[in-house]
Chain A
Amino acid sequence: MINIEINGKQVTVPKGGTVMDGARQLGIYIPHFCYHKKLSIAANCRMCLVQVEKAPKPLPACATPATEGMKVFTHSQQAVTAQKGVMEFLLINHPLDCPICDQGGECQLQDLAVGYGTSESRYQEAKRVVVNKNLGPLISTDMTRCIHCTRCVRFGQEIAGIMELGQAGRGEHSEILAFVGQTVDSELSGNVIDLCPVGALVSKPFRYSARTWELSRRKSISPHCGLGSNLIVQIKQNRVMRVLPRENEEINECWLSDKDRFAYEGLNSDDRLTTPMIKRNGQWHTCDWQEALVFTVEGLKSVMEKHGASSVGALGSAHSTLEELFLLQKLVRMLGSGNIDHRVRQSDFRADDSLEGVPWLGMNIAEIEQLNSILIIGSTLRKDHPLLAHRFRQAVKKGAQLSIINPIDDDLLMRTAHRAIVAPADMVHMLAQVLKAVAETKSLEQVSAHIKQAITAVSITDVARAIAKSLTTNPSTAIFLGNLAQHHPQYADIHAIAHLIAKVTGANLGFLGEAANSVGAYLAGAIPGRGVLGSEIKSDQNGFQFNAARMLGHDANAGPACQAYILMNLELELDAYNPQQAMKSINDAEFVISLSTFKGSITSYADVVLPIAPFTETSGTFVSTEGRVQSFNGVVTPLGDTRPGWKVLRVLGNLLQLDGFDYETSEQIRAQVIPAEDAITRYLNNNLKDYQVNISSKKLDGLQRIGEVPIYQADTIVRRAGSLQLTRDAASPKAWMSTMMLEQLGAREGEIVRLRQGNGEAQLEVACDDGIPLNCIRIACAHPHTSSLGAMFGEVSVEKL
């Protein structure tokens, strides 16, 4: 520790700390632009020059290491003269266009110019003009305003993992720009808007739509990925105008993914439902709530009279709130049905009975950075979990070894130590190899004889041995299952072997939660066979207890599924594991109720549409992938006749004359799930008990599909976010294959091919990616162009046109 004195006040900073660190501890503000606590030190703006005793010239506080006994003066004449001198230089070529600049009102240069600038400029020469750049649909540029602090450049290099912006040219001619002809496509790109201290990089979707001082700031929680980013939602005249990060060091730090930042555009989309709608005699009518709810109740009762209560199925979304999911399961169970689930993209439910608790991250988000060895199984990490990917990136930067077992080899923008890129059907076998390799140095005492027997015939590849070595030789290790693993047709076996490897190596096992409320949905009891907080519900009480696959007909051997469906916050043609079969089940049903925020194509299969509020228009709770319970309030009033989902379900319960549906507030509902004093962590557990692993996989003929969910198709709101839909990540899906597969097919990159899966077909452009394993084809799901196809994994045939 080093003791220094700043403006006569004593402060102690750690060895290697700077004058700026000391000043921040003391609460002394030193003006700055290029300094940012999360980025490396550039010391280029020179605004933080301070006087240091015995130094002949002023020194930059951000870069000057504290030395014992150092005396610093931040407001002495020497310091202030230097700071004012720098401010003058910064302003000479800065346009005086504050009145039309979007940054106006939240501009660091504007603020500091008040304190350090003069009212008149001594600069009489022509000002510099810099040509604007097209950085894509999210970031708007006014490069003449740039003060060359390079925060945006450093962000790319250090946080996003890709240097998409750089400073080219020399001296006065230096400019911030992307590589020639390129845009900024990182899934974290929007953070440069926050980082830019001036109006050079501003939000394109928000541009010119409001002045910052007209906006109210409301706290909220992101409804998208499992991270649970803390948001500031800014509103004007009851409309969400933009979303900014709310700093939380334990979750999103000061960052937001582009999905969290720009998805708000979907909230204001034209596709919003504003009134309830019912279908009478094949005709859609808008109506009031009374009529719609009575229609709903009558429809449900009629099906139950004909087919029994167990013919009713309820499917929620893990993007819905804890309260909504709780009431949905309560409603359907009180009706006498056990058919409730939220895992519409999961296909393998064999391990359900063996779960010892709710699957979760297995640790705190911030702890990821402390890991020494990490194995990620089945994940399009950057796209599914943009900010978790950043945490992993920081861990790798600190020296962690990252191994992946994945059917795709996308660039994670971080160093991977070991990569096992195998076909989906070979993932279980690869894990078995790792387990066997682990057994070479670790005792398999805890492993059942059945497993030991199963792996005897497995021969270990070099990469499996390397992964095993990484897991066994490092002190702090973890294994994570990504979305792709959770959707995988052998998810249960993947989970079970990963659990064994974790058990034997002492690694932490975790799940990268797909949606904002993946953990919450389990806790709320929105799964078959388990009630609130995992309490067991015996099937003989409620007849059938169908899971999502069963309800949506993914199990081809099973009989007809349900006759009535209550769908909440779902577009099954995009959200289901197998949209073909899901839509067949839905279309075959007698009565379909959809509680939805958006119209989409719901009216093509539902019988009644009840408009429910998105997260900005209702109060509620999400439980993030790390098990953090975060409640929020609505930030605007519901649009049109839209109502919060929990209120709709409450009234439905009342109209169905069910007991216990008289909640007045969402807090009352929350209290039914989340114990007041009790920490929920004891309900979170990734272990499996008594599951019989099967490491042999079905031999598949033909091409195997790798169906990933595109980043901007993952939920209903983001699908309608106009600007995000213009990004490269939202480009129309292609059929990706390796060169060898293309040659076998006789197709060339860019050609259109016909794809057949199940009873459906689609025509897509083919593209080449040699990172794709042999006999595999990567086709995104959850997209209108591919929703005619079948399961996310499985056989696909390809024909040239």
Chain B
Amino acid sequence: MTQPVQIILAGVDPAEPDNWRLRNYLKRDGYVALKKIIANKIPPEAIIEEVKKSALRGRGGAGFPTGLKWSFMPRQYEGDKYLVCNSDEGEPGTFKDRDIMQYNPHILIEGMLIAAYAMGVKTGYNYVHGEIWKTYERMEEAVEEARQAGFLGNKILGSDFSFQLYNHHGYGAYICGEETALLESIEGKKGQPRFKPPFPASFGLYGKPTTINNTETFASVPWIIRHGGEKYLQLGRPNNGGTKIFSVSGHVNKPGNYEVPLGTPFAELLEMAGGMRGGRKLKGCIPGGSSMPVLPGDVMMKTDMDYDSIAKAGSMLGSGAVIIMDDTTCMVKALERLSYFYYEESCGQCTPCREGTGWLYRIVNRIEHGKGRPEDLDLLDNLADNIQGRTICALGDAAAMPVRAMLQHFRDEFAYHIEHKKCMV
């Protein structure tokens, strides 16, 4: 059995009230990576190279190679450039970034510092989800500590490198987790995704080149710099470097965050989480947050937890929110709840999502309440087709994918609901 290998959560003790503080972070090798870079005047290109080597992939959901993203940033650009941390963790089932910021905030600050150094950025924003106010306050305290200690601000550690970091909290709109909507929100506008291209690397915050990464992505960087990209890669699997925090929720005995190497078999992760609640059977699992396709229990049990393996199994690793459903779960009801979420959270900007999410929800709601019609299942499939890939941002896809997967794997259950006007479980 794989032991939990901890990079981000190593030495982190939520029970200890001062564990998050700078002095304790320093004891956990905190800011060693930053000091190393500054002391040795490591060239920025070398840092990006190291991150590329590590095969670190974006932990926010899309899994885009981080080093590659950093290399898109126009390094020679004279004007303002921005670094943004996406801590707007809104994906249902995901609660890892909250814990990173709550219990180990300096690792995020150090990660952002290294990224800023590598890309020649002087200003950064950390956009914190609007519904975790305490965490936002914790980040504020941590940033202040870092400023006092000379890790943030002008001429960091006596070098020519300066970096200002600001925390910015949202107001709880899911759509603001979409990176361009997040930028709009920081600019003080209504959080609505932008059409891409242009991408943030050329036209980002206030129209300036901007790099946006997830909290966990930044938090992985100090270790990579301390130990080298190669070593990080070896923790995981080829193309799936390092560890990943999985937020395990649902019908397990010990729901919570588990940091394990990528490639850890799902069965082991489930065991770490205390196994199925009441020893019941695993019916289905959403392996990457609510917008990813559900997989049946038996498929999941044969799958390893890394980007490529989960994709092969027919879903996506996403943000790493593992939602466990046992055999008492009504999949119609589960989908109704998911569809309601996307219906409520659609920003309303573009047609297929604004109109389609409501339509999807209403049909599933009808089926759940015994008013389904035989033609509804084909209609749902077709509507999901008409939404997916037709919208400005991925929220349309996020609303469509759960519907399609539920119908693919649990169609009988939906048909039963329609025919018998009640649940089969």
Residues of A within 8 A of B (CB): 41-47, 49, 56-58, 60, 63, 65, 82, 85-86, 88-90, 92-93, 122-125, 147-148, 166-167, 169-174
Contact indicator per residue, chain B 355-375, by CB within 8 Å of chain A (1) or not (0): 111110011001000000100
Interface hits, B134-176 → A, CB 8 Å: 173, 175
Residues of A within 8 A of B202 (CB): none
Given A89-B352, A147-B351, A172–B195 Cβ distance below 8 Å? no
Is B230 at the interface (CB under 8 A from chain A)? no
Measured between beta carbons, the chain B residues less than 8 angstroms from A171 are: 343-348, 353-354, 357-358
Q: Main secondary structure on chain A at its contact with chain B?
A: loop
Whether the Cβ atoms of A170 and B175 lie closer than 8 Å is yes
Given contacts A43-B195, A85-B352, contact A170 B392 (CB under 8 A): no
B197: CB under 8 A from chain A?
A: yes
- State the B residues within 8 Å of A (CB): 173, 175, 190, 195, 197, 343-359, 362-363, 366, 373, 379, 385-386, 389-392
Q: State which of A45, A58, A89 has its C-beta within 8 Å of the C-beta of B389.
A: A58
Q: How far is the CB of A94 from chain B (nearest CB, A)?
A: 10
8 Å CB contact of B355 from A47, A57, A65, A172: A172
Q: Using Cβ atoms and an 8 Å threshold, which residues of chain B touch A90? A: 351, 355
The answer to whether A85 touches B386, judged by C-beta atoms less than 8 angstroms apart, is: yes
Q: Which residues of A contact B355 (CB under 8 A)?
A: 89-90, 92-93, 172
**A167 neighbours in B (Cβ, 8 Å):** 190, 348-349
Contact of A122 with B379 in the complex, beta carbons under 8 Å: yes
- Given A90-B355, A93-B355, A172-B343; A125-B362 close (CB under 8 Å): yes
Contact A86-B348, Cβ < 8 Å, known A125-B362, A172-B357, A174-B354: no
Chain A residue numbers with a CB within 8 Å of B350 are 43-46
- Give how many A-B residue pairs fall within 8 Å (CB-CB): 95
> With a CB–CB cut-off of 8 A, which chain B residues contact A41?
195
| Cβ contacts under 8 Å, A170 to chain B | 173, 175, 344-348
With A and B bound together, what is the CA distance between A63 and B193 in angstroms?
14
Bound state CA distance, A256 and B173, in angstroms?
39
A-B residue pairs in contact (CB < 8 Å), sample of 22: A43-B195, A45-B350, A45-B351, A46-B352, A57-B390, A63-B195, A65-B197, A82-B390, A86-B351, A86-B352, A88-B386, A89-B386, A90-B355, A122-B379, A125-B362, A148-B354, A166-B190, A167-B348, A172-B348, A172-B354, A174-B348, A174-B354
Q: Which residues of A contact B356 (CB under 8 A)?
A: 89
Contact B343 A57 (CB under 8 A): no
Max chain A C-beta neighbours (<10 A), residue from B343, B345, B347:
B347
Bound CA–CA A710/B423 (angstroms): 70
Chain B residues whose C-beta falls within 8 Å of the C-beta of A47 in the assembled complex: 351
A57-B389, A88-B386 as given contacts; A172 in contact with B358, CB under 8 Å: yes
Residue of B nearest to A46 (CB): B351
Contact: A89 with B195, CB < 8 Å?
Answer: no
The interface residues of chain B lying within 8 Å CB-to-CB of A58 are 389-390
Question: Which residues on A sit within 8 Å (CB–CB) of B190?
Answer: 166-167
Most A Cβ at <10 Å: residue of B343, B351, B391: B351
B379 to chain A, nearest CB (A): 6
Would you call B348 and A123 a contact (CB within 8 A)?
no
Alpha-carbon distance between A58 and B358 when the two chains are bound, in angstroms: 22
In the bound complex, residues from chain A placing their C-beta under 8 Å from that of B346 are 170-172
CB distance from A79 to the nearest CB of B (A): 11
* A44 x B390 contact (CB < 8 A): no
15 further A-B contacts with Cβ under 8 Å, apart from A92-B355, A166-B190, A171-B345, are: A43-B195, A46-B351, A46-B352, A56-B389, A58-B389, A82-B386, A86-B386, A89-B356, A90-B355, A93-B355, A125-B359, A148-B354, A171-B344, A171-B346, A174-B347
Cα-based distance from A516 to B411 in the complex (angstroms)? 71
When chains A and B are docked, how far (Å) is the Cα of A148 from the Cα of B190? 15
CA distance A186 to B359 in the complex (A): 37
Question: Smallest distance from the beta carbon of A612 to chain B beta carbons, Å?
Answer: 53
Closest chain-B Cβ to A531's Cβ sits at a distance in Å of 58
**In angstroms, how far is the closest chain B Cβ from the Cβ of A149?**
9
Q: A49 with B392: in contact, given A44-B350, A167-B190, A172-B343 (CB under 8 Å)?
A: no
Chain A residues, CB < 8 A from B358: 171-172
Task: Please tell me if the beta carbons of A123 and B197 are within 8 angstroms of each other in the complex.
Answer: no
- A170 vs B392: C-alpha distance when bound (angstroms): 15
Q: Please provide the 8 A-B residue pairs with the shortest distance between their CB atoms, ordered closest to farther.
A: A174-B348, A85-B386, A57-B389, A171-B346, A89-B355, A43-B195, A171-B348, A172-B358
| B376 (CB) vs chain A CBs: closest residue | A124
Give chain A residues whose Cβ lies under 8 Å from the Cβ of B343.
171-172
Which residues of the partner chain A approach B379 to less than 8 Å between Cβ atoms? 122
User: Contacts of A124 on B, CB cut-off 8 Å?
Assistant: 373
A503 CB, nearest partner CB in chain B, Å: 39
In the complex, the answer to whether B390 meets A85 with C-beta atoms within 8 Å is: yes
Residue of B nearest to A90 (CB): B351
Contact status B348-A43, CB under 8 Å: no
Which of chain B's residues have a CB closer than 8 A to the CB of A44? 349-351, 392
Measured CB to CB, the closest approach of chain B to A499, in angstroms, equals 41
Min CB distance, B402 to chain A, in Å? 17
Which of A63, A65, A169, A171 is most buried by chain B, counting CB atoms within 10 A of its CB? A171
Chain A, Cβ-Cβ closest to B358: A172
Report whether B195 and A46 are in contact in the complex, using a CB–CB cutoff of 8 Å: no
How distant is the Cα of A584 from the Cα of B127 in the complex, in angstroms? 71
> Which of B195, B347, B359, B373 meets A92, CB within 8 Å?
B359
Minimal beta-carbon separation of B391 from chain A (angstroms): 7
Residues of chain B contacted by A123 (CB below 8 angstroms): 359
Which partner residue on chain A sits nearest B386 by CB separation?
A85
In angstroms, Cα B363 to Cα A63, docked, is 32
Q: List A contacts of B373 (CB < 8 A).
A: 124
Q: Can you name the residue of chain B whose Cβ is closest to the Cβ of A126?
A: B362
Question: Which single member of B175, B197, B348, B391 contacts A46 (CB below 8 Å)?
Answer: B391
Chain B hits for A65, CB < 8 A: 197
Which residues of B lie under 8 Å from residue A147 when comparing CB positions? 351
State the Cβ distance, B188 to closest chain A Cβ, in Å.
13
Contacts of B175 in A (CB 8 A): 170
B346 to chain A, nearest CB (A): 4
Q: Considering the complex, give the chain B residue whose CB is closest to the CB of A47.
A: B351
Q: Judge whether B390 and A49 touch: CB under 8 Å.
A: yes
Nearest A residue to B195 via CB reads A43
- Residues of chain B lying within 8 A (CB to CB) of residue A89: 351-352, 354-356, 359, 386
Contact of B392 among A43, A82, A148 (CB under 8 A): A43
Residues of chain A within 8 A of B195, CB atoms compared? 41-43, 60, 63
Closest chain B residue, CB of each to CB of A124: B373
Bound: A419/B294 CA distance, A: 63
Closest Cβ of chain A to B310, distance in Å, is 20
- Residues on B with C-beta less than 8 A from A63 are 195
A664 to B373, CA, bound (A): 77
Instruction: Give the distance to chain A from B152, nearest Cβ to Cβ, in Å.
Output: 35
Q: Which residues of B contact A125 (CB under 8 A)?
A: 359, 362-363, 366
- Measured between alpha carbons, how far is A63 from B195 in the docked complex, in Å? 8
B344 cross-chain contacts in A, Cβ below 8 A: 170-171
Interface centre among A85, A90, A124, A170 (most CB of B within 10 A): A170
Which B-chain residue is minimally distant from A123 (CB atoms)?
B359
Residue in chain B with minimal CB distance to A64: B197
Given the known A-B contacts A86-B351, A125-B359, A172-B354, are A46 and B390 also in contact in the complex, defined by CB atoms under 8 Å?
A: yes
**Least CB distance, B155 to chain A, in whole angstroms:** 35
Complex CA gap A650/B30 in Å reads: 97
Tell me, in angstroms, the Cα distance from A65 to B348 when the chains sit together: 24
Bound Cα distance A170, B356 (Å) = 14
The chain B residue sitting closest to A55, CB to CB, is: B389
A33 CB to nearest B CB, Å: 9
Complex formed: what's the CA distance from A268 to B354 in Å?
44
For B385, the chain A residues whose CB sits under 8 A away are 85
A718 to chain B, nearest CB (A): 37
Interface centre among B354, B379, B389 (most CB of A within 10 A): B354
Q: Measured between alpha carbons, how far is A43 from B390 in the docked complex, in Å? A: 11
**A221: shortest Cβ distance to chain B, in Å?**
39
Set of chain B residues within 8 Å of A172, measured between Cβ atoms: 343, 346, 348, 354-355, 357-358
